[in-house]
Amino acid sequence: MPETAAIYYDGLVSRRQAVEVSLHPEGLAIFTPDGRLATTWPYAAIRRIEGFAGEGLAITRVPEPGSKAEPRLEIADQRFAADLAARAPLTLTQGMAARRERRNVVLWAIAAAASLVGLAYIGLPAIAGRVAPLVPASMEERLGAAMDPQIRQQFGSSAPLKTCTNPEGVAALADLAGRYERAAGLHVPLRVVVLDHRMVNAFALPGGYVYVMNGLIQRARGPDEVAGVLGHEIGHVRYRHGLQSAIQSGGLGFLLGTVFGDFAGGTAVVLASRALIQSAFSRDAERQADAFGVDLMLKAGGNPEGLAGFFTSLGAGAPGALSWITSHPANAERERAILEMARGRARSAPALTPEQWTALRAICQKTE
């Protein structure tokens, strides 16, 4: 039977699991990496997840009686996805998940509308901070997917930026990002890629999109510096700082668009994308992301001194350096704070092995 690799979420926790899937007469069989059959989804119970931004297909299954789990499978193999579509109806997701999202959207729209009434009194920045936590995760993912091509186009000048895909480097990055994602407890799946650009930069979009520029990897003195930056950006994902910034910078029109869930297309998305990469987060947001990054490194690999040292090694006068470094004068203060947070706490494994670090530095030898 045709089989391929896939990513599985059990619907109870956000942990990402690598699995193998196979088409069988009785349904879609899901196997663990060691070859054990985990479960089988009847074809009639499989539903397509609307708004999936990745390659291939994202599916779920109709919940079994008495179950609250909403499992998810992401299948990148286009040919396998087509074979599956020939056997399963793949209608859009319905039932409990859809009802919950509709309820969340209604509640969120009411809250957003109430916030708009107070716009003249509170101001858009405060409203953005109050509205962002109410946005359903699926809607935030759709916003990130809409902003992704805009970001690549703005950095790429004449052509969109390419993703670095050298297999050994991708594997090293996936290992680090996977450990951090499992420890982070995020509300959205993490999507970490390296972009082929010489700028010393990294940033996070709404919906779990995290980009690391190849220039940052090449300028870093070791894997802990890159890991520290990655942990910092995952902190922005966790606290939804990018979503807040997008709502704030997009203005009233963008905020109205979020109420009705219309992110794709339009000038507002373009302006919000541009503002997100040209502006800096507040100092409080940066401190939150610093603390989250330190915690991730101590839990899932890396030495926080790498993040602390990054402020002085790359932040001082580096052309195109990170906006969250160059736009804040208190680098020494943040460096001391990071070291203080890490003092006396046990460290886990290194961020990357020497072989993985070598592979990561060569990740842009192949691009797509």
Strand 27-31 relative to strand 17-24: parallel, antiparallel, unpaired? antiparallel
Catalytic residue among 70, 181, 233, 286: 233
Show the beta-strand stretches assigned E in the chain: 3-9, 17-24, 27-31, 37-41, 46-48, 57-61, 72-75, 191-195, 202-204, 209-213
Which residue from 177, 161, 137 is spatially nearest to 51, judged by alpha carbons? 137
Which residue from 38, 270, 68 is spatially nearest to 154, judged by alpha carbons? 270
> What are the residues whose beta carbons fall under 8 Å from the beta carbon of 193, sequence distance 6 or more?
163, 164, 210, 211, 212
Instruction: Name the β-bridge partners of 31.
Output: 20, 37
CB 268 within 8 A of CB 254: yes
Q: What is the separation of C-alpha 302 from the centre of its chain, rounded to a whole number of angstroms? A: 20
> Can you tell me whether residue 265 is helix, strand or coil?
coil
CB 322 within 8 A of CB 200: yes
The encoded tokens of residue 134 equal 């109410």
The encoded tokens of residue 237 equal 């994902």
Which residue from 232, 250, 241, 246 is spatially nearest to 302, judged by alpha carbons? 232
Q: Which amino acid is at 44?
A: A
C-alpha 192/C-alpha 363 separation (Å) is 13
Q: Which amino acid is at 151?
A: I
Q: Is 55 one of the annotated active-site residues of the chain?
A: no
Strand 209-213 relative to strand 191-195: parallel, antiparallel, unpaired? parallel
Look at the alpha carbons of 323, 242, 133, 111 in this order and tell me if their dihedral is positive or negative.
positive
Q: What are phi and psi of 41, to 5 degrees?
A: -100, 120
Which residues are marked as active site?
233
